[in-house]
Structure 1
Amino acid sequence: MRMFVLNDTNDLGVAVAEMLSIPVAPHEERDFKDGEHKARPLVSVRGKDVYVLQSLAGGSVASVNDKLCKLLFFIATCRDNGASSITAIVPYLAYSRKDRQTKSRDPVTTRYVARLFEAVGTDRVITLEVHNIAVFQNAFRCQTVHLDVRKLFVPVIRRLAKELPLIVFSPDSGGMKRAQLLKETLEAVQGKEVGFGFMEKRRSRNVVSGELFAGDVKGSAVFIVDDMISTGGTMLRTAHACRERGAKAVYVFATHGLFNPGCEALFNSPAVNRVVVTDSVPLSHQTGSEPHAKIEIVPVAALIGEAIRRLHSNKSITDLLGDED
């Protein structure tokens, strides 16, 4: 096995390698003055099972397109140099939100990205919490592995809820299945019923509307869950609605903390007690600054490392996927 970690996701990659008790294989990355770049392994990959880790969130240093190209080119050169198999570990998979046509002549970018991975010889793609798992699985013709983070969130939710009644809440109807599965996971662990709710959201030409609110949150600890936080506007809108209806505490949970410009309002609002994300995206990827005091980070290295261990030894990964029985 060879595990390569591209520079933009170095901390997470090193943690995964430590979980596997293997060294990170050396590689070279060079950027040229005209904007081109190259990356290559510095050890032989011939006959090896190669794992390449790179998260694809754009930031102030490198765009999502730069990171995607670098990852694709690195996979291609490993294929050209005789790798036996190549697995792309992409904790945050860019363009997964653009999975269907919502306007006339819209691109279906998720499918195009899948074709790019296939074209360079990728055998398997591992990711965490894509926007729509069915679209992800159908877009790729190579093997896909969608790791589930619900079990990582459960102990954090139980600690934060304390003795308050617990409500899992979706900020829009599209995320109801995600919230429902988290609710069921919590109920299985706690042995008692967990509340559920959702809020209506419609977006057209970047204008958000919809006021329907379903669920009784009065006196409860509300946990709003989504796949990602970009500017945090959707989460903050839902948090305010929960507070107006008597929620005792409101916590925001997401797998991917993109935290693009505008997210400061989420952190500064008294409506939100805490924001919990994983380290699938380096929190300094936008500004290079330290995480806000309101953010709590849940590490995913153990989950990714265990998936790699089992895949490499041809063992079952079913309990890591979060599939329904």
Structure 2
Amino acid sequence: MSPDDHFQDLKRLIAASGSKAKRISVIMPFLYESRQHKRSTRESLDCAMMLQELIHLGVQNIITFDAHDPRVQNAIPNSGFDTVQPTYQFVKSLVEQCDGVNFDSDHLMVISPDEGAMQRSIYMANVLGVDVGMFYKRRDYSTIVDGRNPIVAHEFLGASLEGKDVLILDDMISSGESMIDVAKELKARKARRVFCLSTFGLFTNGLDVFDKAVEEGIIEKVITTNLTYQTPELLERDWYVSSDVSKYVALLIDTLNHNGSISELLDPTERIKEYLEKNHL
């Protein structure tokens, strides 16, 4: 099914409640058309229109995971909108599935692959107590290839990477091209191991590019959540780690159903610190 089909089914479900529900909350892990969040010429703002449509249908709260740009909530300023970070689940997967990761500034660094991912990278780095670095994409705006301006180079801002494990943090992996380019740059700067962490793993160009990157020693592991469909082929890959968020989503649903506040659940800082202390990290 396409995202459009899913969205139509969601509206049918809301309409089927016949205005009898006490409260309607929508948990939409992968926010519909979230990349269309700003207008530079005459683009359609599908995400903003979708949010407004749900509110007009009677939805009171919308919860999503790692929105591409949280500012899209400005489309519905008087309604509940929360974007959740799966940082705790990423940390848990790193500890349980990846050997020898030391959570200190001498051995680990968080990398933002572009300026758009900087906020989530700073949060992850602050919680773990490590340094953060950033790449920004230098594009050729005079040409268009496959509907976009090609990336000429990745420029790096940050401290020395030599001998450190690095975490590349982003909201989604589509083709994986930019993440692999960043990983190559990190290895060229003598990074020890590169872990790619992304909330949504779409792998639109297949898995071969990642197979090759792992074979060449550019990437150690790729960690994404189970908030989108994962193909059997992906789950069979040795380099892939699935970060399970189902328990967390169930907790959000249970709390909402009992009229509880989800404020504490949205901030995983304390849970991460307790988990690292429990595992003596």
Query: Fold conserved (TM > 0.5)?
Result: yes
Q: Equivalent residue for 1:275? A: 222
| Structure 2 CA distance for aligned equivalents of residues 268 and 88 of structure 1 | 39
Q: 2:170 aligns with which of 216, 219, 226?
A: 226
Q: How many residues align?
A: 252
Q: Equivalent residue for 1:29? A: none
Q: Which moved more, 1:142-151 or 1:158-167?
A: 158-167
Q: Equivalent residue for 1:105? A: 42
| One-letter code aligned to 1:322 | D
Q: Are residues 157 and 289 of structure 1, via their aligned partners in 2, closer, same or farther at CA, if it must alter by over 3 Å?
A: closer
Q: Equivalent residue for 1:42? A: none
Q: 2:3 aligns with which of 54, 64, 68?
A: 64
Q: Equivalent residue for 2:83? A: 146
| Structure 2 CA distance for aligned equivalents of residues 89 and 179 of structure 1 | 24
Q: Equivalent residue for 1:196? A: 132
| One-letter code aligned to 2:7 | L
| One-letter code aligned to 1:209 | V
Residues 242-292 of structure 1: CA deviation (Å, up to 9, x unaligned): 0111011001001111121245312431311110011000212xxx64523
Q: 2:122 aligns with which of 171, 180, 197?
A: 180
SS of equivalent to 1:65: helix
Q: Are residues 158 and 217 of structure 1, via their aligned partners in 2, closer, same or farther at CA, if it must alter by over 3 Å?
A: farther
Q: 2:13 aligns with which of 54, 74, 83?
A: 74
| Structure 2 CA distance for aligned equivalents of residues 185 and 84 of structure 1 | 37
1:86 matches 2:33:
no
SS of equivalent to 2:154: coil
Residues 286-305 of structure 1: CA deviation (Å, up to 9, x unaligned): xx645233210111111111
After superposition, residues 13-52 of structure 1 pair within 5 angstroms as none
Q: 2:55 aligns with which of 118, 136, 142?
A: 118
| Structure 1 CA distance for aligned equivalents of residues 135 and 154 of structure 2 | 7
8 Å CA contact 1:200–1:212 kept in 2: the answer is: yes
**TM (normalized to structure 2)?**
0.82
| Structure 2 CA distance for aligned equivalents of residues 252 and 149 of structure 1 | 14
SS of equivalent to 1:212: strand
8 Å CA contact 2:255–2:261 kept in 1: the answer is: yes
Give the CA deviation at 1:122.
Answer: 1.7
Residues 75-101 of structure 1: CA deviation (Å, up to 9, x unaligned): 1222x2622222211111121111101
SS of equivalent to 1:111: helix
Unaligned runs of 5+ in 2: 270-281
| Structure 2 CA distance for aligned equivalents of residues 298 and 323 of structure 1 | 15
Residues 173-226 of structure 1: CA deviation (Å, up to 9, x unaligned): 111111000011112xxxxxx121111115554212343112221111010000
8 Å CA contact 2:115–2:136 kept in 1: the answer is: yes
Q: CA RMSD in A?
A: 2.3
Q: Are residues 66 and 107 of structure 1, via their aligned partners in 2, closer, same or farther at CA, if it must alter by over 3 Å?
A: same
SS of equivalent to 1:218: coil
| Structure 2 CA distance for aligned equivalents of residues 110 and 168 of structure 1 | 29
Q: Equivalent residue for 1:132? A: 69
Q: Are residues 81 and 314 of structure 1, via their aligned partners in 2, closer, same or farther at CA, if it must alter by over 3 Å?
A: closer
Give the CA deviation at 1:108.
Answer: 2.0
1:238 matches 2:173:
no
**TM (normalized to structure 1)?**
0.71
8 Å CA contact 1:72–1:116 kept in 2: the answer is: no
| Structure 1 CA distance for aligned equivalents of residues 198 and 255 of structure 2 | 26
After superposition, residues 279-318 of structure 1 pair within 5 angstroms as 279-284=226-231, 289-291=233-235, 292-318=237-263
1:251 matches 2:191:
no
Percent identity over paired residues: 27
| Structure 1 CA distance for aligned equivalents of residues 268 and 222 of structure 2 | 26
